[in-house]
Amino acid sequence: MPKYPTLAARLCAAGCATLASVSTASEHRLEEVLVTASYRTTALNKTAASVSVLSEELIRQRSAQHLENILSTAPNVTWASGSSRSRFVQMRGVGDLEQYYDPKYYPSVGIMLDSLELGDSANAGMLFDIAQVEVLRGPQGTRFGSSAHAGMIKLRSNRPTETFEGEVSGGIADYDSYHAGAVLSGPLGDNLRGRLAVQQYSSDGYIENAVSGDDDSNNFDEFTARGRLEWTPSDNALYHLDLLYFDADNGYDTWSLDNSRTTFTDQPGEDQQETLAATLGANLQLSQGILLETSVSYIDGDLLQSYDADWVSDALCEEFLCSGGNDTSREIFDRERERLVVDLRLLGGADALDPGQGRWVAGLYGNQGEEDLDYRFPSVWYGDFGTNSRYETERFALYGEYEYGIRDDLSISAGLRYERFEDDYSDSNGFNTDNSADLWNAELSLKHTLSDDSLVYLTFARGARPGGVNTTASANQPFMSPVFQGFIADNLSFDDETLYSAEVGVRSQQLDGRLDLNFALFYMDRQNAQLENWMWDGDAGLWIGYLDGTSDASSYGLELQTTLAVTERAELFVNFGFLHTEVDSIEAFDLDANAFVTRENRQQAKSPEYQYNLGTRIALTDNLMARLEIEGQDDVFFGYYHNGRLSSYDLLHASLNWSSGSFDVTLWGRNLSDEDYAVHGLYFGVDPRDDFGAWSNQTYTQLGEPRTYGVDLTYRF
């Protein structure tokens, strides 16, 4: 069983004491929440799935700028960094941990902005003018295919309004942080509405470079602009055009020999992204009960990431005795990505499902993408190495779903999706490969309504993720030592992964609508689980990263989400996830043993056994709202080539919001106890200082956000 944190236990005890004093005479009801990520917009308490909806209120009260600032409030959802933003998401233990050389055009957890698939451009997941974030756990294969193998995160932006309105907002915080934004929305003519939202966010970041003396080598400099036009020429037609521009010029100087926020690099890196995207869509009511929905989106992104590969400088080796001196090397990844997505579907049947009636969905999907990578590794010791590669993908899918009302209180739905996946890879080293796969995704779900306020559901799902070729390992195999050549021969490619999932859940509103209770139990079985692994060939001087698809894995757990309106002025909320994962058997090169070992029944990387978020919202007066919450998670493995773990943590957040008429003022603080916690980890020998055990294998961590606080102001008109 998980080790419950002392702080969480104390707050829970206080909450239980408060519950004991709840007055049943209170008539305060919780607001209805809608979920839009499925085929039809559905009330959250009527949704047969484990879903978290993160509200605009949460975004504002946390002064959250990016997804990474709020995702941890959703049970069994974690993320890893590896860049300036934490853009690698895992759900129920399934997901990517990082990206370096190999192209990965199909992350396990999908990220969407309205109808746009952000996918591997998740740094653009900024939260300005976002109405809510919907987190769907488990395979969403019928709806999204391999784009949502382990789950889907959808950011829903605010839509244009019928009347003219606007907003000007800004804020300042420690670490020389500030943000400024503006929103304009309203009618532009007969049946035409528009909305424009722009924001600039800047911060020095939380790192100090001891070599240069700079405190902004890991800075944030991010500009976001989103526009939406909606045209309704008739009651039966809606056309929309969505535009996105995102420009980030962030620093990347985060790894420290001392596992602190002081680095010793002489070539601090950068993490740049410029993304331009457009989506054209239409909703057309063709006849009574027949709706046509179409969406065509195009996204173009340029991503440049670099870092100081040796982590040190000549100045450090003048102060300390360094074995071998300073390599003075960098690793540079310059990517250009394009993707075109077309989704066309028909929806039939009534919104309300009566006994003996059915409703259906039938759709076609196409996704064509390409990535050009210019890779460079300039090094004093190894010389200048570079290569260019091109990676192309094509995905075509046919999907459908049918839901039937058996009785007033019982319905069944079944969905199926066939997807054809093809990719081609070539690089300047003369390595070429192509891959194809036929993928099947399916879902069967039963929903039983117990009363007007309660339901229970049972869902079985099958998800599929395409296999491929480990391009880095394949290209470098001739240069490896013989023992590594022999091992990697069985891992040059990896098979399709199949994910089977069973889930039972309960959704209930009690106490006259003042208590929302959502509970889910799940079991997942992964066949040919694609697990990220690394090995170090010391004789050849090669780090080899690859996806290992030779192992199976399983997991089970639960998710609890509950909110209680204690009185008209006070709410309590608890979000809790328990997760047990197990990899049957995986072979890895252990850096400490300097040999290949087999790890059996190993916990999956980045899969904490427990994760929680709980707290309270209290209206102190008619205009003043306070929020106090804590969140945390268990310790985790972060790789298979070693036994290093990232420590557990508990974080405290608070905010105070004053609202009067058109003005909002929010005082906020995150990680108020200033706890050091890790969002990513590496294990290897990089420290050349003799006094510190030169080149000995050590665990190195990328630290999360320290204590931050600030004030935000908003004026609406």
In angstroms, what CA-CA distances link 663 with 59, 173, 493, 538, 716? 17, 19, 57, 61, 7
Distance CA 310, CA 295 (A): 46
Mean local confidence (pLDDT), 179-183: 98
**pLDDT over 70 at 125, yes or no:** yes
For residues 568 and 585, the answer to whether their CB atoms sit within 8 Å is no
Per-residue confidence (pLDDT) for residue 29, from 0 to 100: 62
Tell how strand 109-113 and strand 269-287 pair up.
unpaired
In angstroms, what CA-CA distances link 576 with 96, 520, 654? 22, 11, 19
Poorest-pLDDT segment among 37-51, 263-277, 620-634: 37-51
CA 53 to mean position of chain CA atoms: 14
Distance CA 440, CA 444 (A): 14
What phi, psi does 265 have (nearest 5°)?
A: -85, 145
For residues 528 and 553, the answer to whether their CB atoms sit within 8 Å is no
Q: How confident is the model at residue 102 (pLDDT cuts 50, 70, 90)?
A: confident
**pLDDT over 50 at 11, yes or no:** no
**pLDDT over 80 at 509, yes or no:** yes
Distance CA 142, CA 126 (A): 27
**pLDDT over 70 at 13, yes or no:** no
**pLDDT over 70 at 27, yes or no:** no
In angstroms, what CA-CA distances link 83 with 251, 274, 584, 704? 9, 15, 30, 12
According to DSSP H, which parts of 417-503 are helical? Answer: 471-476, 482-488
Q: How confident is the model at residue 73 (pLDDT cuts 50, 70, 90)?
A: very high
Could you tell me how many residues make up the chain? 717
Per-residue confidence (pLDDT) for residue 540, from 0 to 100: 84
Give pLDDT tens digits for 531-545. 989 888 888 888 888
Per-residue confidence (pLDDT) for residue 317, from 0 to 100: 86
Distance CA 422, CA 367 (A): 10
Distance CA 686, CA 692 (A): 11
CA 407 to mean position of chain CA atoms: 38
Q: Which two tokens stand for residue 449?
A: 């309504």
Per-residue confidence (pLDDT) for residue 28, from 0 to 100: 58
* Mean pLDDT estimate for the chain: 90
Distance CA 401, CA 245 (A): 34
- Residue ranges covered by each domain of the chain: 6-716
Give pLDDT tens digits for 387-436. 899 999 999 999 999 999 999 999 999 999 999 999 999 988 888 888 89
Q: Which two tokens stand for residue 79?
A: 């993320």
Tell how strand 208-209 and strand 262-263 pair up.
parallel
More confident residue, 499 or 470: 499
Place of tokens 């295919």: 145
| Sequence-separated (6 or more) residues with CB below 8 Å from residue 521 | 503, 504, 505, 556, 557, 558
Q: How confident is the model at residue 124 (pLDDT cuts 50, 70, 90)?
A: confident
Mean local confidence (pLDDT), 351-376: 92
Mean local confidence (pLDDT), 680-701: 90
Distance CA 6, CA 8 (A): 5
| Sequence-separated (6 or more) residues with CB below 8 Å from residue 352 | none
For residues 373 and 103, the answer to whether their CB atoms sit within 8 Å is yes
Element (H, E) at 152: strand 151-157
Per-residue confidence (pLDDT) for residue 208, from 0 to 100: 96
Burial (0-12, 13-18, 19+ Cβ within 10 Å), 662: exposed
**pLDDT over 90 at 325, yes or no:** no
Distance CA 66, CA 63 (A): 9
Q: Where are the beta strands (DSSP E) in 175-289?
A: 177-189, 192-203, 208-209, 220-234, 237-252, 262-263, 269-287
Distance CA 114, CA 37 (A): 9
More confident residue, 31 or 327: 327
**pTM recorded for the entire structure:** 0.92
Domain with residues 6-716, CATH architecture:
Beta Barrel (2.40)
Per-residue confidence (pLDDT) for residue 308, from 0 to 100: 93
For residues 95 and 139, the answer to whether their CB atoms sit within 8 Å is no
Give pLDDT tens digits for 204-257. 999 999 999 999 999 999 999 999 999 999 999 999 999 999 999 999 999 999
Give pLDDT tens digits for 437-460. 999 999 999 999 999 899 999 999
- Mapping DSSP to helix (H, G, I), strand (E, B) and coil, where does residue 147 land? helix
Mean local confidence (pLDDT), 121-140: 91
Per-residue confidence (pLDDT) for residue 86, from 0 to 100: 77
